[in-house]
Amino acid sequence: MRMTRFNWYMALLFTALLALAGCKSNGGGDSGAGVGGDSQVFDADGDGIPDNEDSCPDTVNSGVDQDADGIDDACDTDILASADIDGDGVLNGEDNCPAIANAGQENEDRDLKGDACDTDADGDSVADKEDDGSGGFTAIPVSEGGDNCPLTPNRNQADQDGDDIGNACDDDTDGDGVANDTDNCPLFANAGQVDSDGDGVGDACEADGDGDGIPDGSDNCPAVTNPDQEDLDGDGTGDACDDDIDGDGVSNDGGLLEPQDNCPLTPNPGQEDTDGDGIGDACDAVNDAEFACGTEGEDFTPMLASDTDISATASKDTSGCLLGLGLICDVESPANVVDDDLSNSATMRNTDLLGLSTITLKVATTTGFAYQEPNVVGVAFAESAQALQADLLGGELIVRTTLNGVTQQESNGDGVFDLDLLGASGVLDGNEQSFLVFQTSERFDGVEVEFQPSLVSLLSEVNVFSVCSSKTEVSLP
């Protein structure tokens, strides 16, 4: 039968389709090269570079390799560290917020994160912003629990005039339209600034015996300064003047015939103390595993010179040695406290038992880093915990925290500024050492141990091995 032109074209088309199908079939089968077929090429990241030739097979890249190390720049950690992702002029490896532009590198609480990417910029344990899930941050409204002074530490979030600006950073605390520095009653609204007797103190706050800004008639401690009016047990007597702060029926400081409360801020009428360390079970946070102090793999670490985050240094102050230096009064080998060998110690020797001489061992960061609050400070001594605690109680031995050289808290401080002795933890790296543990509520960049033995002191020589803390805040029960 004679083919028409249409049938001829159809035949050619059918033949071509069969040929294509055959080629496709020959290339099938195993993904690798096979006899009689071509190998299939993979490109996982879709950047046009086959995986077997791509040094960054899972990262889209242009094939550029600036340092010629065989790794494309897109996934080369050396290149990435020297780049400036956020374009703020600070290289990633040095930028405290590598993904958020902050050319000034502001860091209010002096931790490892800049204010621009720190959810708690002032380090007062109240968040001011949250991660928005897309690489940025969103401010948390005060009405939803956000910090009312994001760049000024104020854990209690006091806001007298209710304007969502905390007292700590409000230049008009009482909200009367008169700035604090010119207000004759900065804590009491008195827009008219009436001062009948002309003494510079407005009539609105004249009757304030302790000068804390709270009128005597409403002050829960009218004779003791306590502007925050804290009252833990809600008995109407402020903590600052309450001899039983937690309201458990046991006096804070005890008395002639009364025991001292072993948990003055936690109700525990039974005063249970399972480990006999003088700290009641209800508030004893010492746990050997949690507060063990090592050099690797633990949050609770010693302050070491080799730690690049803090580059700790140790020094001594013997200016209080009245009888001269030497075997009688000195701090020997203070650098031992910050070296990597936790079995080395500094020796504090003060044999002036009249209590006239004072020596101090000082350990501090040198990088500008500050330890956050709340936190825990541990000091490892060679002496028995009982002798150490007796000298702490008597004031012959003092442990204190400092910030920029200014005392923040100490073991024989007054009121809320006390370092809270939590008890004695276990050994360090197998060494039989007494490890006294203190809770802090203020930021610090230094720790000092002061030794001034008296006639009743149990010790004339103290060996200090290490000072430990956590680089992040510690939440205690």
Spell out the domain ranges in the chain. Answer: 51-81, 243-284, 300-470
Q: Looking at per-residue confidence, does 330 or 199 come out higher?
A: 330
CB 415, CB 240: distance < 8 Å: yes
Please check the confidence at residue 312 and state whether its pLDDT lies above 60. Answer: yes
Across 225-231, average pLDDT: 87
Between 45-59, 263-277, 406-420, the lowest mean confidence (pLDDT) is in: 406-420
CB 36, CB 23: distance < 8 Å: no
Q: How far apart are CA 206 and CA 200, in angstroms?
A: 10
pLDDT tens-digit series, residues 107-140: 999 988 999 999 999 988 899 999 888 878 999 9
Check: CATH 2.60.260.20 for 300-470?
A: no
Beta bridge partners of 315: 362
CB 273, CB 265: distance < 8 Å: no
Please check the confidence at residue 92 and state whether its pLDDT lies above 80. Answer: yes
DSSP strand E in 95-168: where? Answer: 129-131, 137-139
**What is the structure's pLDDT at 401?**
95
Across 39-45, average pLDDT: 72
Q: How far apart are CA 121 and CA 338, in angstroms?
A: 29
Q: How far apart are CA 193 and CA 206, in angstroms?
A: 12
**What is the structure's pLDDT at 415?**
41
Across 235-252, average pLDDT: 90
Distance of CA 356 to the CA centre of its chain: 37
Across 73-102, average pLDDT: 83
**What is the structure's pLDDT at 423?**
64
- Evaluate if pTM is beyond 0.75: no
Q: What percent of the chain has pLDDT over 90?
A: 34
Between 67-81, 186-200, 443-457, the lowest mean confidence (pLDDT) is in: 67-81
Q: How far apart are CA 259 and CA 33, in angstroms?
A: 86
Q: How far apart are CA 200 and CA 202, in angstroms?
A: 6
Distances in whole angstroms, Cα of residue 339 to Cα of each of 87, 267, 302, 364? 38, 41, 9, 13
**What is the structure's pLDDT at 262?**
77
How high does pLDDT run on average in the chain? 80
Please check the confidence at residue 444 and state whether its pLDDT lies above 80. Answer: yes
pLDDT range class, residue 34, cuts 50, 70, 90: very low
Please check the confidence at residue 83 and state whether its pLDDT lies above 90. Answer: no
Q: Is 365 buried (19+), middle (13-18) or exposed (0-12) by CB count in 10 A? A: buried
pLDDT tens-digit series, residues 145-160: 999 999 999 988 999 8
pLDDT range class, residue 461, cuts 50, 70, 90: confident
CB 272, CB 250: distance < 8 Å: no
Across 175-194, average pLDDT: 92
Return the C-alpha torsion angle 352, 278, 402, 310, nearest 10: 110
CB 419, CB 449: distance < 8 Å: no
pLDDT range class, residue 65, cuts 50, 70, 90: low
Q: Looking at per-residue confidence, does 288 or 72 come out higher?
A: 72
**What is the structure's pLDDT at 334?**
97
Q: How far apart are CA 401 and CA 411, in angstroms?
A: 9
pLDDT range class, residue 355, cuts 50, 70, 90: low
SS3 string, 200-252, reads CCCHHHCCCCCCCCCCCCCCCCCCCCCCCCCCCCCCCCCHHHCCCCCCCCCCC
